[in-house]
């Protein structure tokens, strides 16, 4: 059974539908006490980093996610959910994140981009896979769907995928049992469904 964390920050239905396509039993988790009962969890999210962290604290999910991470069971953050895994974000001020992966979230640097490059980064783009990671099994440099204005900076040892948009940025990460994807696998058709399937099949 997979748990989809519901903390009032969007895109839950599309994640749930993607799990349904894989014949995977999934349910929304609103009660932090229930999180430990799931074999793996997804932290989705659309919106502002600060609002998301406020909701995680107010709902009690912040502590529950930290406790879950210690179990060794797989968890994955998607889009904003990936950004929340890091130590901090500069989106609309300076905000502390979950701190499960070292690094920070910054705005795309326009000074490093062609003047015609638009922010947010929106649409289909390639993840250049850094190794033969289990999550990319059966895929090579897949096209996936992105919508974001901020991206993570982290230690290379955590990086399993990068994407070019004006410059190369980190688009997929992995540290121990914790995974993060900047694009939306649940909106990326077959390639995204394959990544979610690989996540469901991870051993722990």
Active-site pick, 57, 66, 79, 121: 79
Instruction: Kindly state the helix (H) or strand (E) to which residue 102 belongs, with its residue range.
Output: none
Q: Are 188 and 139 in contact (CB under 8 A)?
A: no
DSSP annotation of 131 reads S
Give dist(CA 8, CA 56) in Å, integer. 9
Give dist(CA 133, CA 45) in Å, integer. 24
Which residues are within 8 A (CB) of 56 and not within 5 positions of it... i.e. 6 or more apart? Answer: 7, 62, 65, 84, 98
Whether 39 is a known active-site residue: answer no
Whether 79 is a known active-site residue: answer yes
Whether 186 is a known active-site residue: answer yes
**Cβ neighbours, 10 Å, residue 123:** 11
Tell me the CA distances in angstroms from 188 to 114, 143, 184, 193, one per residue in order.
26, 8, 6, 7
Active-site pick, 87, 114, 184, 204: 184
Active-site pick, 95, 121, 148, 186: 186
Give dist(CA 1, CA 184) in Å, integer. 21
**Cβ neighbours, 10 Å, residue 104:** 16
Catalytic residue positions?
A: 79, 184, 186
């Amino acid at each position: 059974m997979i748990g989809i964390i519901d903390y009032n920050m969007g895109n839950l239905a599309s994640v749930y539908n993607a799990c349904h396509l894989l014949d995977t039993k999934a349910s929304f988790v609103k009660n932090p006490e229930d999180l430990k009962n799931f074999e793996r969890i997804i932290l989705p999210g659309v919106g502002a980093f600060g609002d998301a962290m406020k909701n995680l604290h107010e709902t009690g999910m912040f502590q529950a996610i930290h406790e879950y991470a210690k179990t060794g069971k797989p968890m994955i953050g998607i889009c904003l959910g990936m950004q929340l895994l890091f130590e901090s974000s500069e989106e609309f001020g300076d905000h502390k994140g979950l701190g499960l992966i070292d690094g920070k979230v910054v705005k795309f640097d326009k000074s490093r981009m062609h003047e015609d490059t638009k922010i947010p980064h929106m649409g289909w783009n390639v993840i250049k896979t850094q190794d033969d990671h289990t999550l990319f099994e059966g895929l090579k440099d897949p096209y996936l769907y992105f919508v974001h204005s901020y991206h993570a900076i982290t230690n290379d040892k955590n990086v399993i995928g990068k994407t070019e948009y004006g410059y190369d940025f980190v688009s997929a990460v992995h540290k121990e049992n914790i995974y993060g994807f900047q694009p939306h696998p649940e909106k990326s058709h077959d390639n995204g469904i394959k990544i979610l399937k690989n996540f469901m099949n991870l051993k722990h």
